[in-house]
Amino acid sequence: MKKQMAFAVQIGVDDSVVSRWKRGHRLTLQHAVRICEVLDISLDWLVLGRGTMDQHKIYRAANPAWLPGSTDDLPGPIAAALLMVADAIRAEFDPDRRSDRS
């Protein structure tokens, strides 16, 4: 229970909220983002079950200068999600310019 309480404090919620999540209640997007920041895990993996837990690290390492400066001030999970959306848009509208990060 101490770990759960410490986790709740890191995220900024009451430990009863964490208990509800463990029982299957839904997360808000804000809480999901915060969990990803605290645990350094992929938002896509947590919310959608896609990819790997650390896929956000792979995207960032694959091409850190892809959007120079535009994601520097964003939390890691949000930056990774933004890069994934940009890749999807690029692939949809210009298949010849697909990213090598997929």
Domain-located, residue 44: no
Q: What's the chain's average pLDDT?
A: 78
Reported residue count of the chain is 102
Kindly state whether residues 91 and 60 are assigned to the same domain: yes
User: In this structure, are 71 and 97 located in the same domain?
Assistant: yes
Of 69, 95, 67, the residue nearest 84 (C-alpha): 67
Structural domain total, the chain: 2
> For residue 78, what are its two tokens?
């949000």
Both 57 and 99 in a single domain?
A: yes
pLDDT-derived band at 101 (thresholds 50, 70, 90) equals very low
Judgement on whether residues 76 and 99 belong to the same structural domain of the protein? yes
Q: Where are the alpha helices (DSSP H) in the chain?
A: 2-11, 15-22, 29-39, 43-48, 55-62, 76-93
Q: Per-residue pLDDT tens for 73-91?
A: 777 788 777 777 777 766 6
Q: Domain range for residue 26?
A: 1-39
pLDDT band with cut points at 50, 70 and 90 for residue 44: confident
Rounded to a whole number of angstroms, the CA Rg of the chain reads 16
Is residue 46 situated within a structural domain?
Answer: no
Q: What is the pTM of this model?
A: 0.57
Amino acid (one-letter) located at 70: S
Domain assignment present for residue 99? The answer is yes
The structure tokens listed for 46 are 């947590």
Residue 98 in this model has a pLDDT that exceeds 50: no
Phi, psi of 3 (to 5 degrees): -65, -40
Which residues neighbour 65 within 8 Å (Cβ) at sequence distance 6 or greater?
Answer: none
Residue 23 lies in a domain: yes
